[in-house]
Amino acid sequence: MIMVNIFEAKARLSEYLDAVNRGERVMICNRNKPVAELRAVAATPVVRRLGVAAGAVTLPSSFFEALPDDVLDAFDGTARADVPRVAEPKASYTARKKGRA
């Protein structure tokens, strides 16, 4: 077991954590009186359940059909003029406060 005072533990914490990973225990002392102990934590296994929502979601066959040309054009910025556009955002609070809006 390694015994260190608080100042040294703060200065060399990463070294002591490496020692803990190797299986050692580190006792942290305040004026040579033990106050805390660093020791390894048992790793908890990660449990992943695959397929939990299987059968809960169904997609219509139209989901896999090609999108109309006007929708595809809207994605790449070549949308036609007759397609409605989203309104421009309002001026920001900062711009209004400074009188620029």
What is the mean pLDDT, run by run of 10 residues, along the chain of 101 residues?
94 95 94 94 85 82 85 73 60 61 51
- The pLDDT of residue 62 is 86
Phi, psi angle pair for 25, to nearest 5°: -110, 145
Q: What is the pLDDT of residue 12?
A: 95
In one-letter notation, the amino acid at residue 57 is: V
What structural domains and CATH numbers belong to the chain?
A: 2-38 (3.40.1620)
Q: For residue 31, with 0-12 CB atoms within 10 Å meaning exposed, 13-18 middle and 19 or more buried, which class applies?
A: exposed
